[in-house]
């Protein structure tokens, strides 16, 4: 199994280029199921989750040529079944449920696995599809949805769910009549999916607000689309640069989608200057602690919580970091403590006290963003850090070690590390 070895303490300098957004590419690849003919998705990141999505589409019967940054998905007969072996590798596989039900009137999708961050149910996806007329039952660990043509309806989500909103937009796009989705997720990836659906001939309005209207159409066309850049990857490198110090330019940053993070970084004393389509990050002085509470977009992203916590270990004072989106998303804390961090978790809040330094250690990644936080901790720690189980990292970061090495980090991938 691969690991990442880091010798900490090197300041970073140079330019990092952000790749396409994983969380936009995944639903958009699933949206290809809504039409026949060949769709072309560009600016797709080279990631394990993208390989899994390509494999899933092939299993469903589609012809897929995945050569990131381009992925071509052809038409073709579909067997509407997403097996456990694929869904357990990637929870976002549930995004085929809406398109399959809407287009083929039947879907059999294994209940998801994926990141071990809380229970993460899909009840809102199922409730929404039922409101559009699908009949749903569970059998042997699978969700089975059956329907004639879906019929537009009002769906009120109990909480904003990103993939739930995307699944329902895709399903409603082919329903008869108007659907109104209320209490929707407002993430930029939801807006991106709506953009693609409209390119396909759908009539979706309001994406990016909490009420989305979808006027169903009889059929949708294939599309050609370049994916927006990954705000979480961009944010991760912003925090890495701030933590390691130096002078780094990050290219392809969707600055307007990162306002909550940028405000917290500035509050902590990091200098951020917009620079063309990127951001320059400089840290000269010490860091100050700031409090953070995660919430749905446009709030502070839960996907940045673990990385930001490392920065707060180095900041003067005590930072209070509250996680309100997911339960059980502090699994990086015990590993950071092994590196010398002083963090106490009380319920949904972590109290992060300033330490003079972190020390390198052998640590274990437990989920995607936790892995990124351990890499950042390794960049600033004294001595050598070995991050194990980096297959989590490879799910969501394209060549992270190469991008960081190119700006001066002493970091390399090592093969054959014990799990
Ligand atoms: C997406 C992102 C993930 C990010 C998360 C929150 C993708 C592929 N993944 O995940 O990186 O961390 O948004 O920004 O886009 N919930 C329910 N029932 C449901 C659906 C969700 O109770 O049917 C709860 C979840 O347990 C969680 C909250 O709603 O507490 C938000 O989850 P959701 O937005 O659905 O996350 P994902 O779409 O899975």
**DSSP secondary structure code for residue 7 in this structure:** E
- Which of these ranges, 75-84, 116-125, 372-381, has the smallest mean pLDDT? 116-125
Q: Which of 30, 115, 184, 313 is catalytic?
A: 115
- In the reported structure, the alpha carbon of residue 303 is separated from the centroid of ligand 1 by a whole-number distance in angstroms of 11
Q: Residue 55 is encoded by which pair of tokens?
A: 């494999």
Dist. CA 64–CA 248, nearest whole Å = 37
Q: What is the pLDDT of residue 119?
A: 62
Instruction: List pLDDT tens digits, range 241-278.
Output: 999 999 999 999 999 999 999 999 999 999 999 988 99
Helix crossing, 22-31 with 97-104: angle to 10°? 10
Phi and psi for 181 in degrees, rounded to 5?
-105, 125
Task: Report yes or no: 415 and 401 within 8 Å, Cβ to Cβ.
Answer: no
**CA-based nearest residue to 140, from 195, 81, 92, 186:** 81
pLDDT band at 154 (very low <50, low <70, confident <90, very high): very high
- In the reported structure, the alpha carbon of residue 163 is separated from the centroid of ligand 1 by a whole-number distance in angstroms of 6
Element (H, E) at 402: helix 400-405
Q: What is the pLDDT of residue 116?
A: 53
- In the reported structure, the alpha carbon of residue 158 is separated from the centroid of ligand 1 by a whole-number distance in angstroms of 12
Report the DSSP pairing between strands 342-346 and 349-353.
antiparallel
Q: Which of 30, 115, 159, 297 to mutate to test the pocket of ligand 1 (most atoms within 8 A of CB)?
A: 159
Dist. CA 98–CA 187, nearest whole Å = 19
Query: Is pTM, for the whole model, over 0.95?
Result: yes
Phi and psi for 278 in degrees, rounded to 5?
-135, -165
Q: Residue 71 is encoded by which pair of tokens?
A: 């992925």
Nearest CA to ligand 1 atom 39: 163
- In the reported structure, the alpha carbon of residue 164 is separated from the centroid of ligand 1 by a whole-number distance in angstroms of 8
| Farthest-apart Cα atoms in the chain, separation | 63
pLDDT band at 1 (very low <50, low <70, confident <90, very high): confident
Q: What is the pLDDT of residue 75?
A: 87
**DSSP secondary structure code for residue 11 in this structure:** P
Residues in the chain: 419
- In the reported structure, the alpha carbon of residue 234 is separated from the centroid of ligand 1 by a whole-number distance in angstroms of 20
Q: What is the pLDDT of residue 111?
A: 87
pLDDT band at 45 (very low <50, low <70, confident <90, very high): very high
- Which of these ranges, 120-124, 150-154, 242-246, 256-260, has the smallest mean pLDDT? 120-124
Ligand 1 atom nearest residue 327's Cα: 30
Q: What is the mean pLDDT of the chain?
A: 95
Ligand 1 atom nearest residue 127's Cα: 23
Q: What is the pLDDT of residue 78?
A: 87
**CA-based nearest residue to 248, from 283, 214, 218:** 283
Q: What is the pLDDT of residue 315?
A: 97
Task: Report yes or no: 15 and 36 within 8 Å, Cβ to Cβ.
Answer: no
Q: Which residue has the higher pLDDT, 67 or 1?
A: 67
Task: Report yes or no: 189 and 207 within 8 Å, Cβ to Cβ.
Answer: no
Q: How many CB atoms lie within 10 A of CB 62?
A: 20
Q: Which of 27, 56, 161 to mutate to test the pocket of ligand 1 (most atoms within 8 A of CB)?
A: 161
- In the reported structure, the alpha carbon of residue 353 is separated from the centroid of ligand 1 by a whole-number distance in angstroms of 29
Dist. CA 215–CA 69, nearest whole Å = 32
Q: What is the pLDDT of residue 113?
A: 54
Nearest CA to ligand 1 atom 11: 303
Residue 36, pLDDT above cutoff 60? yes
Nearest CA to ligand 1 atom 21: 161
Segment 120-127 mean pLDDT: 91
pLDDT band at 115 (very low <50, low <70, confident <90, very high): very low
Helix crossing, 97-104 with 162-173: angle to 10°? 10
Instruction: List pLDDT tens digits, range 285-341.
Output: 789 999 999 999 999 999 999 999 999 999 999 999 999 999 889 999 999 999 999
pLDDT band at 114 (very low <50, low <70, confident <90, very high): very low
Segment 399-417 mean pLDDT: 95
Dist. CA 128–CA 201, nearest whole Å = 22
Nearest CA to ligand 1 atom 4: 303
Element (H, E) at 353: strand 349-353
Task: Report yes or no: 267 and 288 within 8 Å, Cβ to Cβ.
Answer: yes
Q: What is the pLDDT of residue 308?
A: 98
- In the reported structure, the alpha carbon of residue 190 is separated from the centroid of ligand 1 by a whole-number distance in angstroms of 12
Nearest CA to ligand 1 atom 20: 122
Ligand 1 atom nearest residue 189's Cα: 15
Query: Which residues, 6+ apart, have CB-to-CB distance to 259 below 8 Å?
Result: 298
Q: What is the pLDDT of residue 120?
A: 74
- In the reported structure, the alpha carbon of residue 104 is separated from the centroid of ligand 1 by a whole-number distance in angstroms of 25
Nearest CA to ligand 1 atom 32: 161
Element (H, E) at 196: helix 188-199
Dist. CA 211–CA 168, nearest whole Å = 12
Nearest CA to ligand 1 atom 15: 23
Residue 47, pLDDT above cutoff 70? yes
pLDDT band at 360 (very low <50, low <70, confident <90, very high): very high
Residue 115 designated active-site: yes
Strands (E), 57-104: 64-67, 70-73, 81-82
Segment 52-67 mean pLDDT: 96
**CA-based nearest residue to 195, from 153, 233, 228, 157:** 228
Ligand 1 atom nearest residue 27's Cα: 8
Dist. CA 361–CA 416, nearest whole Å = 18
Ligand 1 atom nearest residue 120's Cα: 26
Nearest CA to ligand 1 atom 13: 162
Residue 118, pLDDT above cutoff 60? no
Ligand 1 atom nearest residue 296's Cα: 14
Residues with CB under 6 A from ligand 1: 23, 26, 92, 118, 120-125, 159, 161-164, 185, 189, 302-303, 325-326
- Which of these ranges, 7-11, 74-78, 242-246, has the smallest mean pLDDT? 74-78
């Amino acid at each position: 199994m691969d690991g990442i070895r880091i010798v900490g303490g090197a300041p970073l300098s140079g330019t990092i280029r952000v790749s396409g957004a994983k969380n936009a590419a995944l639903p958009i690849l699933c949206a290809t199921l809504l039409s026949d003919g060949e769709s072309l998705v560009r600016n797709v990141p080279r990631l394990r989750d993208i390989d899994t999505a390509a494999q899933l589409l092939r299993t469903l019967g589609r012809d897929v040529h995945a050569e990131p940054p381009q992925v071509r998905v052809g038409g073709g007969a579909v067997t509407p079944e997403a097996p456990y072996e694929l869904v357990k590798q990637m929870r976002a596989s549930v995004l085929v449920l809406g398109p399959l039900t809407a287009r083929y009137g039947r879907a059999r999708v294994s209940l998801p696995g994926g990141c071990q961050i809380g229970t993460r149910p899909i009840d809102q996806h199922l409730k929404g599809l039922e409101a559009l007329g699908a009949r749903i039952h569970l059998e042997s660990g699978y969700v089975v949805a059956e329907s004639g043509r879906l019929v537009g309806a009002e769906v009120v989500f109990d909480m904003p769910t990103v993939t739930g909103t995307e699944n329902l937009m895709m399903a409603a796009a082919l329903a008869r009549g108007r659907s109104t989705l209320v209490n929707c997720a407002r993430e930029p990836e939801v807006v991106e999916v709506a953009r693609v659906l409209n390119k396909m001939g759908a009539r979706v309005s309001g994406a990016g607000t909490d009420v989305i209207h979808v006027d169903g159409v009889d059929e949708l066309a294939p599309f050609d689309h370049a994916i927006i850049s990954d705000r979480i990857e961009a944010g991760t490198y912003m925090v890495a640069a701030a933590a390691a110090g130096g002078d780094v330019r990050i290219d392809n940053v969707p600055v307007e989608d990162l306002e909550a993070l940028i405000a917290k970084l500035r509050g902590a004393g990091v200098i951020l200057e917009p620079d063309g389509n990127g951001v320059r990050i400089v840290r000269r002085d010490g860091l100050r602690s700031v409090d953070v509470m995660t919430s749905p977009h446009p709030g502070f992203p839960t996907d940045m919580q673990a990385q930001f916590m490392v920065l707060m270990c180095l900041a003067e004072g005590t930072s209070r970091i509250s996680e309100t989106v997911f339960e059980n998303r502090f699994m990086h804390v015990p590993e950071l403590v092994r590196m010398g961090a002083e963090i106490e978790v009380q319920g949904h809040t972590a109290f992060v006290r300033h330490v003079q330094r972190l020390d390198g250690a052998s640590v274990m990644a437990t989920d995607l963003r936790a892995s990124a936080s351990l890499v950042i901790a390794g960049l600033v720690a004294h001595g050598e850090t070995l991050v194990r189980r980096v297959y989590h990292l490879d799910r969501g970061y394209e060549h992270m070690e190469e991008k960081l090495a190119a700006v001066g980090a002493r970091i390399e991938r090592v093969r054959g590390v014990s799990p």
